[in-house]
């Protein structure tokens, strides 16, 4: 522990984990009425609107000059825009549980990209861990699995979620040096604002003639929830926790996300926990764990 952590973190960190896990379930609910592309555009736009006032409040008496503005905006294309678009497109075509397991592979994607650009070296233990995790993905997509109506996992859906995780991995690796120089509020604000501006024409095109009046309060609440909590609040909690607790300890809570997401998916969406799912999930977790500690 870097310094004495406030007691509030014992509430905030579990809350962050729960909110991130619930994002998969809430996303499935929103996608019942919103098309994936429009949902992604609106989520990014709303998130930018939520975080901008926080940024303005914090920057009011400081310099507004940012020499890395263009770099952060470009990173936002991957870490926000493409990430959200692929994630929601995939979530609409696969189960919430499959989605969370594909996202759980993100440390593997980060390592592979870092190795490819020679930012890191790979050890035998890490290579074995990656192979095991990929074997878990194969189990998920090869063995048949029963599913609730409308939530059957598909290879295309898993692949799109995978692409979403890869774009975030690209953001993590290539933004490592830039993002370390700024606060989480600054990084997230620039990324979301640049993303919202970049897709503004697409947002307007998707919204044109869309029957918003037919959207239920539940769907709107779900979309706003995704924009505010997983996209803004959770990241603020995450970086706040990092100022008191080592990253490895904070990241350890990520292992709870698939467990919580699975429980929530079973209770609220009627998704089923099958033997192939349990086997694939266990193998993936084993591989990711081995890789992170290799």
Q: Is 246 left (phi over 0), alpha (psi -120 to 50) or beta?
A: beta
pLDDT over 60 (residue 144) = no
pLDDT class for 1, splitting at 50, 70, 90?
very low
Q: What is the CA radius of gyration of the chain?
A: 19
- The answer to whether the beta carbons of residues 85 and 167 sit under 8 Å apart is no
pLDDT class for 218, splitting at 50, 70, 90?
very high
* Segment 150-164, tens digit of pLDDT: 567 788 999 999 999
Alpha-carbon gap, residue 188 to 203, rounded angstroms = 20
Q: What are the distances in angstroms from CA 147 to CA 266, 277, 283, 288?
A: 10, 11, 20, 25
pLDDT reported for residue 251: 66
Q: What is the mean pLDDT of the chain?
A: 85
What is the pLDDT averaged over residues 232-249? 78
What is the pLDDT averaged over residues 60-88? 82
Other CB atoms within 10 A of residue 83 CB:
25
Q: Is 173 left (phi over 0), alpha (psi -120 to 50) or beta?
A: alpha
Extract the tokens encoding 50: 């939520």
pLDDT reported for residue 149: 52
- The answer to whether the beta carbons of residues 43 and 199 sit under 8 Å apart is no
* Segment 10-67, tens digit of pLDDT: 889 899 999 999 999 999 999 999 999 999 999 999 999 999 998 888 776 665 567 7
Domain limits, the chain:
9-292
């Amino acid at each position: 522990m870097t310094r004495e952590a406030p007691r509030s973190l014992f509430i905030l960190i579990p809350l962050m984990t729960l909110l991130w896990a619930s994002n998969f379930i809430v996303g499935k609910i929103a996608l019942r009425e919103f098309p994936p592309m429009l949902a992604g555009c609106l989520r990014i736009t709303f998130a930018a609107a939520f975080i901008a006032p926080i940024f303005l409040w914090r920057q009011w008496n400081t310099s507004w000059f940012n020499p890395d503005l263009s770099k952060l905006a470009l990173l936002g294309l991957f870490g926000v825009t493409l990430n959200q678009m692929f994630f929601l497109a995939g979530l609409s075509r696969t189960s919430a549980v499959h989605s969370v397991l594909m996202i759980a592979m993100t440390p593997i994607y980060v390592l592979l990209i870092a190795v490819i650009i020679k930012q890191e070296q790979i050890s035998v233990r890490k290579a074995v861990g990656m192979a095991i995790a990929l074997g878990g993905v194969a189990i998920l997509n090869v063995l048949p699995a029963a599913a609730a109506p409308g939530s059957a996992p598909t290879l295309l859906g898993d692949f799109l979620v995978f692409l979403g995780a890869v774009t975030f991995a690209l953001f993590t690796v290539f933004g490592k040096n830039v993002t370390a120089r700024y606060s989480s509020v600054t990084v997230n604000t620039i990324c979301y604002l640049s993303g919202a501006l970049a897709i503004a024409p697409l947002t307007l095109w998707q919204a044109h003639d869309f029957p918003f009046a037919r959207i239920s309060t539940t769907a709107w609440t779900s979309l706003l929830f995704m924009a505010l909590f997983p996209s803004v609040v959770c990241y603020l909690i995450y970086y706040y926790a990092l100022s008191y607790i080592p990253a490895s300890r904070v990241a350890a809570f990520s292992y709870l996300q698939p467990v919580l997401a699975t429980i929530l998916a079973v209770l609220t969406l009627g998704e089923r926990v099958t033997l192939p799912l349990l086997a694939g999930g266990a193998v993936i977790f084993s591989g990711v764990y081995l890789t992170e500690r290799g």
